[in-house]
Amino acid sequence: MQQTIKAKHELRLYELKKALNDFMEFTENLTLLQSVNEKAQEMVLAVDMLQQLLRQGIDTNQLVKAVNASEAAMLLDEIVDTDAVSELEAYMLSAAEGIEDTEVTRFLTEIMDKVERKYNLLLEKAHAYNALLKS
């Protein structure tokens, strides 16, 4: 049985929101990770708006048009194109330059690796949703 357009949107948004929540939980209340946490929060708002649009019960053709024309879809696409983690990584590298303790430097590197893996997962989910919009 083929999934409906609405079901595909719901599934992709659910997967994206799950990745976002995981990322936000990991980065929450960590001062150095505030910038990427804020980007994730913006993405959650966009996903919430899209999920609300899906719940309106409009027919498939109108739904596709409404989702594609929504500010939330444009915002999600725009956020995905920004490279928040690279900016954070550059900042962390510059901050680590003055640290002589190799344990602290290694810890910062490990944290950045985890942030990057989690962020890449949520970007993967966002790209999957954007691909659905373009199909």
98 DSSP 8-state letter: T
Q: What is the pTM of this model?
A: 0.86
Place of tokens 């994206």: 16
CA triple 111-85-53, angle to 5 deg: 115
* Residues 1-60: tens digit of each pLDDT: 356 888 999 999 999 999 999 999 999 999 888 888 998 999 999 999 999 998 988 887
Give, for 12, the enclosing helix (H) or strand (E).
Answer: helix 5-27
* Residues 104-127: tens digit of each pLDDT: 888 888 988 999 999 999 999 999
